[in-house]
Amino acid sequence: MTLLHVQFALRNQSAFQRLLDGSISRSQPAVRGSSSGGRSWGRKGTSIYSAMTFDVNAYDPLGRTALHLACSATDPAATEYVRLLLAHPNINVNVLDKENHWTPLHRALYHGHLSAA
Number of domains comprising the chain: 1
Query: Each residue of 64-90: b (16+ CB within 10 Å) or e?
Result: bbbbbbbbbbeeeebbebbebbeebee
Q: In this structure, is residue 117 part of a structural domain? A: no
Give Cα separations from 82 to 44, 46, 85, 91, 105 (angstroms): 34, 30, 5, 11, 11
pLDDT in tens, 15-31: 999 999 984 343 444 44
Per the structure, the complete domain to which residue 34 belongs is given by 3-110
pLDDT in tens, 53-82: 678 999 999 999 999 999 999 999 999 999
Q: In this structure, is residue 89 part of a structural domain? A: yes
Q: CB neighbours (10 Å) of residue 29?
A: 16
Q: In this structure, is residue 68 part of a structural domain? A: yes
**Residue type for 102, please?**
W
pTM, rounded to two decimals? 0.74
Secondary structure of residue 52 in the 3-state scheme: coil
**Residue type for 97, please?**
D
Task: Give the pLDDT score at 52.
Answer: 54
Q: In this structure, is residue 115 part of a structural domain? A: no
CATH assignment of the domain containing 9: 1.25.40
